[in-house]
Amino acid sequence: MTPDILTGALTFAAAVILLIITPGPGVLSTAGVGSAFGFRAGLRYVTGLFIGTNLVTFAVITGLAAVVLSIPWLRTVLMAASTGYLLYLASKIAFAGAKIAFIEAKSAPGIGSGVFLQLVNPKAYAVNSALITGFPFWAGNLTAETLLKLLIMNTIWVPIHLGWLWAGVALHRLNLSPATQRKINIAMAAALLGVVALAVWSALR
């Protein structure tokens, strides 16, 4: 690997960190699930997110994502599905442990929930498209560059999401009063709703 390729790979890694670590549906819901349901449930959810984000990456690499996102009505369906599902996740987190009859959320979002969120998450497509199609650093060997990008992306993705999960779990393990824990869950859910509002506002623009 030449110095130019190494420099390009490091630049790419920095871009991955900046694009993934910023609050979005994936990391915010990870912290929320960890806070509301604990480590094991959170780890299952993160596993689903990991599978889902790699499926999205595969769609970007094969060009499937470009085809889907080029069709206006499909983009609208994707946005509606994403918004609706984020609202669902926010309600699961907000009402975790609540004893208010019909809104009690007993089961945590699992692997399937994580996969589905990524498949309908516009940010996942935008981030993966920017990373895969941008930041070229290995001229003449697109296959090697793509494989190295995948390695870098996943190597960074895992600890970042585990870090957000740990932050949520740390709150869960403080043995706070039910009322305080519920306020934290509602705050986590509100952060997700903020992401929903920003996504809808951006789409309307």
Structure tokens at 2: 């030449």
SS3 content of the chain, % helix, strand, coil (to 5): 80, 0, 15
- The mean pLDDT of the chain is 81
Type of residue at 74? L
pLDDT band at 152 (very low <50, low <70, confident <90, very high): very high
Type of residue at 44? R
pLDDT band at 166 (very low <50, low <70, confident <90, very high): very high
Residue 109 and residue 92 in contact, taking contact as beta carbons nearer than 8 Å? yes
According to DSSP, residue 63 is labeled T
**DSSP E strand stretches across 36-172:** none
**pLDDT per residue as tens digits for the range 30-72:** 888 888 888 998 999 999 999 999 999 999 999 888 887 788 8
CA distance 19 to 191: 18
CA distance 39 to 169: 6
Q: Can you give the pLDDT at residue 202?
A: 58
Number of Cβ within 10 Å of residue 175's Cβ equals 7
What are the φ and ψ backbone dihedral angles of 28, each rounded to 5 degrees? Answer: -65, -45
Coil, strand or helix at 186: helix
**pLDDT per residue as tens digits for the range 62-95:** 988 888 778 888 778 877 888 888 788 777 777 7
